Amino acid sequence: MTNKGTSFYERLEARGVSRRDFLKFCGATATMLGLSSSAAPMIGAKIAGAADEGGLYPALWLHGGACTGCTESIAQATYPNVADIVLDFLNLVGQETIQMSAGVQTLEGNEEFAEEHAGKYILIIEGTVITGLDGNMLRVGGHPFIEELENFASKAAVVIALGSCAVDGGWVVAYPNPAKGTGVGPYLKSKGVATPVVNLPGCPMNPEELVSVVVEALLLADRDSDGVPVLGPIVNRLDANGRPKWLYGSTIHDNCPRRGHFENGEFVYEFGSDEEAMGYCLYPVGCKGPQTYRRCPMIRWNSSVSWCVDSGGPCIGCANWNWVDQNAPFRGRFRRVGAGVLGSGGVDPAIAAAAIGGIAGAALIAHGFGMKAAKRIGSNATLKTEECKEWETKHAKKGGAA
């Protein structure tokens, strides 16, 4: 399973990517992994070495109840071609949206692949696990998708739950959860499948997040005597919710470029306003940045050209657990710290984490509005200033945070 004909750098250059571009990419990866950018050459050497020695790493990508947005997202990866190349390290036999085969050849190909690479391949799942009508609300190849999921997950080395839908069911499990959706982790746990699951919540997943996990899990990992990456290190770097710590350790609000306006009490109260043109803070129009753990302001989107808040759109908290019920109404200011309707049932530690984020957000906004009320001089500012009250009266119905 190697492409030993040419060296990694030769292949890279054949694809129109200079060594310099590649190191730039490694620098970005280093930053994302929380390392100094001076680690870039080390990462580059590791990737090149792994590529020349290990070749393509076996991977299978299956679609649950998906909108294909995470596939679309990965097609938009940063730095022309480079992230694609890192993914090219994957021998991605199954990927329904781009694979050449169809029908019975797809199904048999996946089976043969899983037998050949049993215990060694990475399984990527996009979309909700649909359990409605005993799983018949999503059938693939004439069978419930949940059977396919259990089969391929139990033979995989690691499962990546890609995007909010795969993590906990995403928008599909919003009340009343008509398709009885759930996440890959909870579903596999209920079936006693022990394969570790890496959660990458967000709607959609940001391609840089997946690339970062692939680099971390496969290319920076030590290999055993068969050349198979030892996946221990990445599993040890997940938080209590199965998310890579380096990607979900801070809130949107922590790193938001509009944070200064928040501190100054400079807010957008209506789209199309002068305040919006000035790029003020979007909290009053519903921004969920304070309670959403993700690194969008730093990683940004689509080759870093923008991200939600930069375009004028308030964060809707798409990386939160059960994010629609947690955060809707999206344009309402988030004043209630509630658990919403749970998709998977029971008490999920993630809900507690999200709730804590909400409390932190409430405290922060008290601070921000206080700053405005006090014209940035008072230390005893309170939330209910006349100006805030006036705004809340005016927007009470539209905000809708009952």
Partner 1 sequence: MAENIVLDPVTRIEGHLRVEAVVENGKITDAWATGTLYRGVETILKGRKPEDAFYVTQRICGVCPTSHGHASSMAVESAYGIKIPNGARLVRNIYESAENLHSHILWFYILAALDYVNPAKALSADIGDTVDLAKAAGTGISDFAAVQERVGDLVKGGDLSVFSNGWWGLNPITDAEKIDAELYNPDMPAELHLIGVAHYLEALEMQAEAARVMAILGGKFPHGMTSVAGGTAFVPDSLKLDDILYRLKRVVAWINNTMIPDVLAIAPFYTAALEFGGGCGKFLSFGLFNDTDLDMHNRFFPAGYIDVANGLKVDPVDTDKIKEDVKHAWYTSPSGLHPQHGQTQAISRWDDSTFDLDGQYTWGKAPRYDDKPAEVGPLSRMLVGYLSPGADPAIKGTIDYALDALGITDPTLLVSLLGRVAARVLEAKVMGDQVINYVVELVEAINSGDAQTFQEYVDHDGEGAGFWEAPRGALAHFVNVENGRIANYNVVTPSTWDMSPRDDNGVRGPMEEALVGTPIADVERPIMAARIARSFDP
Q: Segment near partner 1 (CB under 8 A), from 35-43, 167-175, 350-358, 380-388?
A: 167-175
291: left (phi over 0), alpha (psi -120 to 50) or beta: alpha
266 binds partner 1 per the rule CB under 8 A: no
Closer to partner 1 at the Cβ: 18 or 306?
A: 306
Closer to partner 1 at the Cβ: 72 or 387?
A: 72
66 binds partner 1 per the rule CB under 8 A: yes
C-alpha dihedral sign at 116, 121, 124, 130: positive
- Half-sphere exposure (CA, 13 Å, Cβ side) for 50? 28
Name the one residue in this structure whose structure tokens are 């994010």.
323
**How far apart are CB 322 and partner 1 at their closest, in Å?**
12
Closer to partner 1 at the Cβ: 14 or 377?
A: 14
The pair phi, psi for residue 365, each rounded to 5°, is -70, -30
Q: Which residues contact 298 (CB under 8 A, 6 or more apart)?
A: 31, 255
Select from 36, 38, 102, 386 the one that contacts partner 1 (CB under 8 A).
Answer: 102
Closer to partner 1 at the Cβ: 40 or 77?
A: 77
* DSSP-assigned beta bridge partners for residue 197: 159
The footprint of partner 1 on residues 134-163 (CB under 8 A) is 134, 136-142
Select from 73, 291, 320, 326 the one that contacts partner 1 (CB under 8 A).
Answer: 73
The footprint of partner 1 on residues 200-239 (CB under 8 A) is 203-204
Task: Residue 259: name the closest of 335, 310, 325, 222 by CA.
Answer: 310
Number of residues that bind partner 1 (CB under 8 A): 104
Closer to partner 1 at the Cβ: 69 or 196?
A: 69
Q: Segment near partner 1 (CB under 8 A), from 82-90, 240-248, 346-354, 383-391?
A: 82-90
**How far apart are CB 42 and partner 1 at their closest, in Å?**
26
398 binds partner 1 per the rule CB under 8 A: yes
Q: Whole-angstrom Cα distance, residue 129 to residue 112?
A: 23
Closer to partner 1 at the Cβ: 40 or 85?
A: 85
End-to-end CA distance of the chain: 58
Would you list the DSSP string of 303-316? TTTB-HHHHTPPP-
108 binds partner 1 per the rule CB under 8 A: yes
375 binds partner 1 per the rule CB under 8 A: no
Task: Residue 191: name the closest of 230, 126, 122, 144 by CA.
Answer: 144
338 binds partner 1 per the rule CB under 8 A: no
Q: Where are the alpha helices (DSSP H) in 245-315?
A: 245-248, 252-255, 259-264, 274-277, 296-299, 308-311
Indicate the helix (H) or strand (E) that contains 198: strand 197-200
18 binds partner 1 per the rule CB under 8 A: no
Select from 31, 37, 76, 385 the one that contacts partner 1 (CB under 8 A).
Answer: 76
328 binds partner 1 per the rule CB under 8 A: yes
67 binds partner 1 per the rule CB under 8 A: yes
Burial of 291 (0-12, 13-18, 19+ CB in 10 A): buried
Which tokens in the block code for residue 178? 């008509």
The footprint of partner 1 on residues 297-326 (CB under 8 A) is 301-303, 305-314, 316, 318, 324
Q: Which residues contact 264 (CB under 8 A, 6 or more apart)?
A: 371, 372, 376
Select from 82, 129, 149, 170 the one that contacts partner 1 (CB under 8 A).
Answer: 170
Select from 21, 52, 96, 239 the one that contacts partner 1 (CB under 8 A).
Answer: 96
Q: Whole-angstrom Cα distance, residue 234 to residue 243?
A: 10
**How far apart are CB 129 and partner 1 at their closest, in Å?**
12
Closer to partner 1 at the Cβ: 296 or 373?
A: 296
Which tokens in the block code for residue 66? 């998906």
The DSSP 8-state label assigned to residue 144 in this structure reads: E
**How far apart are CB 10 and partner 1 at their closest, in Å?**
9
Select from 8, 113, 246, 293 the one that contacts partner 1 (CB under 8 A).
Answer: 113
